[in-house]
Amino acid sequence: MKSYFLFLFLFVSSTCLVGQEIKDRPRDGEGVYAFLQRHNRLNQKYYRAFIKLNKNKLGKDNELKKHHTYIIPDLSEKNTNADETAVKNESSREDKSWREPLFGKKEERVKLLNNQLEGACFYIVSGHGGPDPGAIGKMGKYQLHEDEYAYDIALRLAKNLMQQGAKVHIIIQDAKDGIREDRYLANSKRETCMGKKIPLNQLERLKQRSDKINELYSKDRKKYSYCRSVFIHLDSRSQHKQMDVFFYYAPKSTNGLRLANEMKRTFASKYDTHQPNRGFTGTVSSRGLYVLTNTQPVGLFVELGNIQNQFDQRRFILSSNRQALANWLALGLLNDFRKGKE
């Protein structure tokens, strides 16, 4: 009799453990895919299960809300294979992964999470580079170089877009610096324009990257219905000038204006979620910048903040904040891509 009750107790206990829900809160700036990736739930079956489990807690476009606790799908087949037929149809896509050495040893593996951006092509350009560090801020004894922080965010954005099925060209490249977690990013002059030395002369430098984008675009436009270039910079103003992210588009570019406005709307929505009552004061305006007026794809020029301001510096120093910026930029591009298909 004792052995029977012991068996019954163990059976009930193990059953309770199997059915126990795993919950967690999202980190700053995390979207659903980043949240699931952190918990090793990388494909569409987990995404579908997550949305079903948490549908009453999600915001617009399945947005995660700060301070909310979400149920994480069980790794067991019972919970994740509810739509077995669909999973089998998607299995070849879900298993697709590849290496991108530019992301660094720790981040080089890229796994296709979904095909939401299939048919889209992007040219991601981090500002300055090579002999030109761009704006230089200071935090304590450390110098903050614009080109290094813009490059790290550009890599994170590029990986995000690739994981959603987009074709991505990383125009400015550093063979050594991948995605970094450091607060203070060491400066170097190794950056190239897709393997070619970057000129010191400003006009030659801008022409080089613009010509490269146009060269790639002449072929890409035949394959992709949606091509966009994104130029990532950090501004330099007075130390007392705190700024939100703001966006430029080429004069008379209707699609550029639409993209810039969509990006502003996306950032405002994220600020409302993660920093309620703060508000978002980023702006959209047209500007005849060389890279916007001399490249053929629709372009967006992004200024991520004032590298001289101590409050804006926090936006770049923390790797989690750099990832959040990349996530939000990717979401803005996805939202615009969807509108372009309407």
Q: Identify the pLDDT of residue 16.
A: 41
pTM: 0.77
Query: Average pLDDT, stretch 58-65?
Result: 81
- How far is it, in rounded angstroms, from Cα 22 to Cα 73? 8
Q: Identify the pLDDT of residue 80.
A: 42
Tens-place pLDDT, residues 272-312: 887 777 778 899 999 999 999 999 999 999 999 889 888 88
Judge contact between 151 and 129, C-beta under 8 A.
yes
Tens-place pLDDT, residues 147-179: 999 999 999 999 999 999 999 999 999 999 999
- Residue 276 sits at the vertex; the CA angle it makes with 274 and 278, to the nearest 5 degrees, is 110
Q: Where are the chain's structural domains?
A: 18-94, 97-340
Q: Which residues of 110-132 are buried (b: 16+ CB within 10 A; e: fewer)?
A: bebbbebbbbbbbbbbbbbbbeb
- How far is it, in rounded angstroms, from Cα 139 to Cα 317? 10
> Above 90 in pLDDT, residue 93?
no
Q: Identify the pLDDT of residue 29.
A: 65
Q: Identify the pLDDT of residue 202.
A: 96
> Above 80 in pLDDT, residue 191?
yes
Judge contact between 319 and 101, C-beta under 8 A.
no
> Above 70 in pLDDT, residue 42?
no
How does the average pLDDT of the chain come out, rounded? 86
> Above 90 in pLDDT, residue 59?
no
Confidence of residue 222 (pLDDT cuts 50, 70, 90): very high
- Three-state SS letters, the chain: CHHHHHHHHHHHHHHHHHCCCEEECCCCCCCHHHHHHHCCCCCHHHHHHHHHHHCCCCCHHHCCCCCCCEEECCCCHHHHCCCHHHHHHHHHHHCCEEECHHHCCCCCEEECCCCCCCCEEEEEEECCECCECCCEEEECCEEEEHHHHHHHHHHHHHHHHHHCCCEEEECEECCCCCCCCCCCCCCCCCCEECCEECCCCHHHHHHHHHHHHHHHHHHHCCCCCEEEEEEEEEECCCCCCCCCCEEEECCCCHHHHHHHHHHHHHHHHHHHHHCCCCCCCCCEEECCCHHHHCCCCEEEEEEEEECCCHHHHHHHHCHHHHHHHHHHHHHHHHHHHHHHCC
- The pairs formed by 200-204 with CB atoms below 8 angstroms and a separation of 24 or more are 200/130, 200/131, 200/132, 202/132, 203/290
Size (the chain), residues: 342
- How far is it, in rounded angstroms, from Cα 14 to Cα 26? 29
% of the chain beyond a pLDDT of 70? 86
Tens-place pLDDT, residues 101-119: 999 999 999 999 999 999 9
Tens-place pLDDT, residues 7-41: 443 433 433 434 457 888 887 767 787 788 777 77
Least confident of 78-92, 106-120, 176-190, 302-316: 78-92
% of the chain beyond a pLDDT of 90? 62
Q: Identify the pLDDT of residue 19.
A: 47
Confidence of residue 77 (pLDDT cuts 50, 70, 90): very low
Q: Identify the pLDDT of residue 89.
A: 42
Q: Identify the pLDDT of residue 85.
A: 38
Q: What architecture is the 97-340 domain classified under in CATH?
A: 3-Layer(aba) Sandwich (3.40)
Q: What single letter denotes the amino acid at residue 18?
A: V
Q: Identify the pLDDT of residue 86.
A: 40
Least confident of 3-12, 110-119, 133-142, 312-321: 3-12
Closest to 116 measured CA to CA, from 175, 208, 44, 170: 44
| Tokens read off for 284 | 């959209």
